[in-house]
């Protein structure tokens, strides 16, 4: 009986690491940390590799802009960031995030740490996608997305 229980536990551990690596983290995330407003990141994901760009406004300071490349490691995200616009003088331009992916992949919770030895909590919540915009005039539909009509498809197929 204990052997069967161990198998189920190991199977569960294997699945918990697997779901996180398969989690769809691409999209817009809102930072819910106190003292920072308008703090968001945009995540682009290619498998286990993440590219992010972010913006936030610090209380008693100003806006900061950052970017980074990170990885999904099991149920965690390791994300080193570099600030290209500091919210205030003396702000450390290098920050590392260590985040846990929630089971539903809608929350990233963990810590930030900078090279000055300071650290603190951070929590990102995924912002749901808005519904597609409705347009009344066909000319308003973006055209850079490929052919939309049979005629355009035939023209593209005959192009060299």
CATH number for the domain including 33? 2.40.128.120
- pLDDT at residue 17 in the model: 44
Is 10 a member of any domain?
Answer: no
In the predicted structure, residue 125 carries a pLDDT above the cut 50:
yes
The answer for 25, left when phi > 0, alpha when psi is -120 to 50, beta otherwise, is alpha
Give the count of domains, the chain: 1
Helices (H) and strands (E) in the chain, counts: 2, 8
Q: Mean pLDDT across the stretch 100-114?
A: 95
- pLDDT at residue 145 in the model: 64
Is 140 a member of any domain?
Answer: no
1-47 residue pLDDT tens: 445 444 443 444 444 444 445 799 999 999 998 778 889 999 999 99
Q: Is 124 helix (H, G, I), strand (E, B) or coil?
A: strand
Is 92 a member of any domain?
Answer: yes
Is 7 a member of any domain?
Answer: no
Is 154 a member of any domain?
Answer: no
- pLDDT at residue 49 in the model: 96
Q: How far is CA 113 from CA 7, 41, 46, in A?
A: 37, 17, 25
In the predicted structure, residue 144 carries a pLDDT above the cut 60:
yes
- pLDDT at residue 133 in the model: 80
Residues 6+ apart with CB under 8 A from 68: 51, 52, 79, 80, 81, 82, 97
- pTM passes above 0.95: no
């Amino acid at each position: 009986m204990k052997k069967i229980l161990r198998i189920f536990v190991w199977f569960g551990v294997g699945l918990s690491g697997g779901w996180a690596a398969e989690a769809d983290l691409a999209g817009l995330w809102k930072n819910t940390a106190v003292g920072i407003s308008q703090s968001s990141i945009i995540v682009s994901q290619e498998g286990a590799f993440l590219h992010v760009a972010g913006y936030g406004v610090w209380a008693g300071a100003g806006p900061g802009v950052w970017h980074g490349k990170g990885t999904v490691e099991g149920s965690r995200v390791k994300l080193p960031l570099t600030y290209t616009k500091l919210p205030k003088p003396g702000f450390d331009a290098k920050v590392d995030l260590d985040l846990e992916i929630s089971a539903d992949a809608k929350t990233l919770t963990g810590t930030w740490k900078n090279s000055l030895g300071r650290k603190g909590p951070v929590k990102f919540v995924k912002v749901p996608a808005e519904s597609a915009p409705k347009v009344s005039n066909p000319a308003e539909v973006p055209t850079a997305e490929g052919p939309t009509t049979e005629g355009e498809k035939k023209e593209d197929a005959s192009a060299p």
